Structure 1
């Protein structure tokens, strides 16, 4: 299904865009982790996602923040404290993640 008549558009359909935003091995897991509670610190996210490296988690968090899906709040204190949570835009993805969870539970 092509909905954009602009042939220079980067995306051929909304599914392609959605997959770019939440696709890959880690983004959906990070979003799911944040959807389970209000505010999470970096270490909490890392502990909840088996196998993710510090570099990859940092990179994916920055990408999700730049997409406007999560908010990052840094507190200037010692030791440093950084918290993450879903933005309103990020919360709109929760039903998609819940559907993925339900599908996985049924067919895993």
Structure 2
């Protein structure tokens, strides 16, 4: 973006993407853990049939497996974003060197 005749590569927005996706991971795991704990509490208190516990355990395994897949995708996305940042920074530095007459 032009600024006083300069072109700048600003990576703050890319940093925000990485932070947001990591925050989403923490939130959805926290929500699931809270719901699971509440259901387990109801089972222990005898307010919900114990068979629900077996279903809950099965669902928890599915959730953990799918969450791991999502986590892997987030890690890959964050790696790609970091690569874009590095390319931008390296490209900018190369342009500065070229403009100064360096190699």
More helix by share: 2
More strand by share: 1
Tell me if both proteins adopt one fold, taking TM over 0.5 as the criterion. Answer: no
User: TM-score, length-normalised on structure 1?
Assistant: 0.26
Q: Greater Rg, structure 1 or structure 2?
A: 2
User: TM-score, length-normalised on structure 2?
Assistant: 0.27
Structure with more contact order per residue of length (Cα contacts < 8 Å, sep ≥ 6): 2
